[in-house]
Structure formats: C-alpha cells, structure tokens
C-alpha cells in the first residue's frame, strides 16, 4: 500500500466573499459554511470563528478536532463510510492542509469535553494551540437526545473539514511525503533480518457517548482486525468520543497518529513494520476476553517479534490494556504499552486500574490528575457555563476573576496516550 501525502502549508485563515486557498491563505465564505452545517435538522444555530496561535482566546467545551484532507487520486475518499462511499482507502494521493484544523464546540454533549487555550500555560499542554483553528459553534435544537446531539456535532466537523479541504484538491502541495508498506509475504522476504513489529491500536468503545468509528461502523461491533497503516491517514478511523479531554483521541489524532508515523519512519531501517491490529474497549468482561484473545491470536498469526500497544481512556480500559499486554507476552512477543496515569493530585495513587508484571515496558503521557491554573482570556469561543462540571473540573473551578483551576485532564490532548512526542522503536 502506497500513499502520497501532499502537504499544503497554511499561513493564515480569514473570512471573505468566497471560499478559496491561495498562497497558503484560506479564505472562507462564512455564510456558505454555516448554511452547509445548518442542513442538519438537529442543529438550531451555527457560528464560525477563527482562533490563532498566541491570541488570548479560550475554546471550550471542545468536542472534536479535524484536520482538513481531500482525496486527489486513488480509490475512495476521506472519511469512508461517513462522508464518502465505503471503499478501502490509504493509497494514491491525498492533500492535507497542514497548520490548521476544524474544531467543534457549543452546548455540551457529555460532561467530559475539554478546554483549549491559544496562549498561556494551558497552551503548552495541547498541540492544538499551535494550529489556526476554524471553530464551528453548534447549538442543538431543543430537546435533542444526547446521542443525536453528538452525531450532529460530529458530522458538522467532518462536513466543514471536507468543505474547506476541497480548496486544495487541484493545488500542487508544498511538500510530499510518501508512506509505503508491503504485503506480509513480500515484507518478510524484503527484510528477513529486521524484527517484525506491529501496532495494537485500542479504540474507545465504551458507549455512553464514548465511541469510535471504523469505515463508518461503531467499533464496539467489530472483532479485532488488521489495517494498513495508511488507511487511517484517509480517515478510516474517526472519533465520536466525549471521553475525558486529555484521553480523547480526536479525529486529528487518528489522522496524524504519531505511533504510525514513527513506526513507518523506522520501517526498513530498524524494524519491519508489519501493520496495525485495531481492537476495542468494551465494558463487559466477555467482550474484553474475546477481543484480547483475538488480538493476541493475530499477533501470533503475523509471527510478530514485538508490539506497541496504545489505549484510549482510563479506568475500565486499563483492563483491556493489561489483558492485551499479558496475552501477547505469553506468546513470546515483546510489548511496549503507551498510557497516561491517574495517580492522584499528589502522584501517590496507583497509576492504572489494573497491572501485571508482564507490563514492564511502559511509555507514560504523564499524570492527568495534576492541577493547573489557567489565566483569564480576553475572548471565549463556546461557553464557560460547564467549566465546573467537565472532567477535571470541580465546583468553584471558575473563579470570579476569570481564572480556571482544573486538573490537566480537562485540557484537550494534554496527556493523550498517543501523544505527539517521538517514541523509540529500538529494543524489539
């Protein structure tokens, strides 16, 4: 599978009479974009704003973040089974608008939405403070059920990103990065002396507005399966999550999965990156046993030497993480797990809800219970009405002077298990 990712570098985003992309500047016809989002009968009103790095702006509650991408050549389209027809993606050419995002906010869907500050100490904890964010603020119709509300806001983000990305379809990208992996047999022949490494990509599927979609299918309905690494770069996996903000793998995280990128960078040099095994994190014990059994079976079937495992969420999914680790290790395959910690504000509590001695190689994203005070911002996109009830907040988090004292789990992307730091793939 070979994918050319054409990067169109975005310098600025402004509003104007027509939607276009010229010389790195996106111009958006605001009324046209609002009209597109308002096609959904579940949305009562929409506003669109722009937040730029360094501005005294706070965005909350953050639902999802999406990087605009458009298919240029090859089968299918971005977000298959969601916006485009169901087809196997991950090959051909895709253009991506680097340096910007579409971010959704508005009336809270679940209590675990988050905060993004564009400047100040909070900005240091989120990758999204470095982007030019096109913020779509959606107000649902009265009496809308939570799941319908979540779906409406989710699709508002995807449709807005696709609308903006279309401006780059015929452009020559500023940079082109090529990603390529072989089929299993050819890969074994090409790199016989390199350790065979796979990526076990755990997807949040606890329900209760904690859902992830694969080719448009709710991932709690799947059994573990294999994907080419490049499939997720075309949006084969998208977020529908209202899980704790620091744990949430937004759609942007999936599109830019750093584990995939780092493994591909080492492919053919340090390791033979065989591919991804996606699995879920259901709530019932039988489902956990089934998925972890299948995951371990697939690592054995692929004859892997090592596996990187990332999880999404905490608490209940810690059980899935340790099950996967333990069962894979029992097959003689080395594992490295990527997680964050909930170790209490003093760092003295047990970091994970489950543990096993086989989980002896751990990459941590940090302690999500640590407390931070966020200064007042000059502008708020969204609303501060839910500050005291989001995960990581508490009664009195929002002070009279406009400062917010919260655990860093309230910041979107703060201790994300995927992270955006380089990882080491040596040692397998």
Which positions are catalytic? 242
Inter-residue contact 232 to 342 (CB < 8 Å): no
Cross-strand partners of 49 = 135
Q: What is the enclosing helix (H) or strand (E) of 163? A: helix 146-165
Instruction: Give the number of residues written for the chain.
Output: 428
* Euclidean distance between CA atoms 206 and 219, whole angstroms: 10
* Euclidean distance between CA atoms 97 and 10, whole angstroms: 6
Nearest to 232 by CA among 117, 79, 6, 414: 79
Would you give the DSSP letter of residue 2?
A: E
Cross-strand partners of 14 = 27
- Listed in sequence order, the residues at least 6 apart from 148 whose beta carbon sits closer than 8 Å to its beta carbon are 42, 140
* Euclidean distance between CA atoms 64 and 132, whole angstroms: 15
* Euclidean distance between CA atoms 428 and 426, whole angstroms: 6
Helix axes 30-37, 146-165, angle to 10 degrees: 140
2: which 2 tokens?
């070979």
* Euclidean distance between CA atoms 124 and 310, whole angstroms: 23
């Amino acid at each position: 599978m070979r994918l050319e990712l054409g990067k169109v570098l975005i310098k600025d985003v402004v509003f104007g009479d027509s939607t276009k992309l010229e010389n790195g500047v996106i111009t958006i016809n605001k009324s046209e974009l609002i009209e597109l989002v308002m096609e959904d009968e579940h949305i009562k009103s929409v506003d669109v704003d722009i937040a730029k790095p360094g501005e005294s702006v706070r965005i909350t509650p953050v639902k999802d973040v999406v990087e605009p991408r458009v298919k240029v050549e090859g089968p299918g389209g971005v977000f298959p089974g969601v916006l485009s027809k169901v087809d196997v993606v991950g090959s051909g050419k895709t253009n991506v608008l680097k340096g910007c995002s579409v971010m959704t906010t508005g009336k809270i869907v679940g209590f675990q939405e988050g905060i993004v500050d564009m400047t100040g100490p909070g900005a240091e904890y989120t990758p999204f403070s470095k982007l030019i964010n096109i913020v779509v603020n959606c107000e649902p119709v009265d009496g809308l059920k939570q799941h319908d509300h979540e779906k409406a806001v989710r699709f508002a983000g995807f449709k807005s990103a696709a609308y903006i990305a279309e401006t780059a379809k015929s452009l020559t990208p500023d940079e082109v990065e090529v990603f390529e992996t072989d089929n299993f047999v050819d890969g074994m022949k090409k790199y016989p002396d390199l350790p065979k490494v796979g990526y076990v990509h755990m997807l949040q599927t606890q329900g209760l507005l904690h859902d992830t979609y694969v080719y448009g299918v709710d991932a709690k309905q799947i059994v573990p399966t294999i994907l080419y690494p490049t499939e997720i770069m075309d949006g084969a996996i998208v977020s529908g999550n209202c899980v704790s903000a620091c744990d949430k793998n937004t759609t942007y995280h999936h599109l830019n999965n750093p584990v995939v990128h780092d493994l591909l960078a080492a492919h053919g040099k340090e390791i033979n990156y065989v591919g991804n095994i996606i699995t879920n994190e259901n709530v019932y014990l039988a489902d956990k046993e089934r998925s972890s059994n299948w995951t371990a079976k697939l690592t054995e079937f692929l004859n892997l030497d090592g596996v990187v495992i990332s999880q999404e969420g905490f608490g209940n999914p810690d059980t899935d993480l340790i099950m996967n680790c333990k069962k894979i290790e029992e097959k003689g395959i080395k594992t490295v797990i990527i997680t964050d910690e909930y170790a209490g504000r003093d760092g003295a509590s047990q970091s994970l809800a489950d543990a096993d001695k086989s989980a002896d190689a751990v990459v941590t994203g940090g302690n999500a219970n640590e407390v931070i005070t966020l200064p007042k911002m000059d502008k708020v996109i969204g609303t501060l009405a839910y500050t005291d009830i989001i995960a990581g907040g508490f009664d009195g988090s929002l002070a009279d002077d406009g400062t917010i004292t919260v655990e860093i789990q309230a910041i979107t992307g703060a201790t994300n298990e995927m992270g955006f730091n380089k990882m080491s793939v040596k040692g397998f």
